[in-house]
Structure 1
């Protein structure tokens, strides 16, 4: 199976934050940000695998600063690491002041997706080739994040058995 670069899965989405999208503080609901992240990440994973995918985990979402009414929410995601049938996707969220053009980081997230074949069974995905310094940085920490996810999943299963 051929390898692919992280850039080949890159997905970008921009939208404007309007009053119905916000809470009583005038900032976007966290759940809306989460939905945007999952959408961008799933598109990136599908671009990489060229198949259907399912979300296996959302193991981190760090909110850094709020996005206010009238600002744009700008998301960028790409596959940062692969195993046999799974893909880790990194998503960065920024706010943009549409008048000044100033951007600031508002959230980061890692999600894991599993590629599915036509029968809904896990299928092998192409290996990832990180190219930029940022991609290499995310790639270098991916195995450690995988081990943390694996242990957390095992603990959850063990608790369920009790």
Structure 2
């Protein structure tokens, strides 16, 4: 069934779409460039994209699949996430932590390590070393369990921030724009 959605896609994106469909069933949304699954535990969202993003950490590959969880990240730890991996992204307003990689186990590994960075104080370089070692030994007896399942329970972390424009000023701005609510 995935073949109908992924016709003409690069093989790496097709493989990710097929593996995700095998594990989670058909996508909830499909377009010529993207497949999306919603609320497939433990994931809030899974997105497979035909677009390939070159990535060289911890080895050369292309990122085609993103896994999203709800996870709070303290403001003082956001920079550490960026130092750990450019594929780990925090959306503060939504409270979503995501990782994009070539496959699900790469994202599971990255999200487990991101959790350790933001919650347990793991330094980014140690997280990078563990990621490297886990991928290097993924097909051995020394397989890192961080590849197999999330080691934390996703939790709400949305931060809608604080209004800096009071109600009176907002109403005046709305009037000045002709009553358009933007």
Please report the TM-score for the alignment, with normalisation by the length of structure 1.
0.24
Higher RCO (CA 8 Å, separation ≥ 6 residues): 1
Please identify which structure carries the higher helix content.
2
Instruction: Give the structure with the higher percent strand.
Output: 1
Question: TM-score, normalising length from structure 2?
Answer: 0.23
